[in-house]
Structure 1
Amino acid sequence: MNSAEKDQADQLDSDLIAIVAALQQRLTVADQRVDELEGLLATIKATLPHLESPAKISVRELIREIDAALNPTLKPTCCGACCGACPAGCIGAKP
């Protein structure tokens, strides 16, 4: 490898290191935001059963949606309506 090739390889290495560092910084900020939102949702979930809800969505449905957001590996449960517009995401599946 001649000097010009070595310089080019060194520059490429430096560029890649800078890109990885920038991506890591963005990922860290995103992780922190997710942690904050998860904490907020958990607090809301713990508080909701103690409130009366005049909203269109029932407290149970809202808790189901929060559970799904906090643990995306769980499949949402059917709301029982099976109308295809289920807030739990059953999309018309029979319970």
Structure 2
Amino acid sequence: MSSRIPQPCDVPNGTHDGELRFYINGWKCDSHAPWAARGLPRPQPGPGLPAGAWTTPSPLSTSRVHDARAIASGKRRSSPEAYRAAQAAVHKTT
């Protein structure tokens, strides 16, 4: 987006009505928005992100699993408490 102050709409003619929003093709009012140009009704706000959007595993959590395996196998130094906790986490059956 540019730092210019948007005009009521980038369409040179016609009546302008409704909210001003930035679309891919520029600043448009509700009368000249892409959905209005196709003759569609104004889209309603959706539910947001899907439920699983925040449950995807991050690379940090997978590295912790590998660290627990390394600690449990004795390849990585740790305290006795961390060693026992890692062994319990790695050898846990689901």
Same-fold call, TM cutoff 0.5: no
Q: TM-score, normalised by structure 1?
A: 0.34
- Pick the structure with more strand per residue: 2
- Pick the structure with more helix per residue: 1
Larger Rg: 2
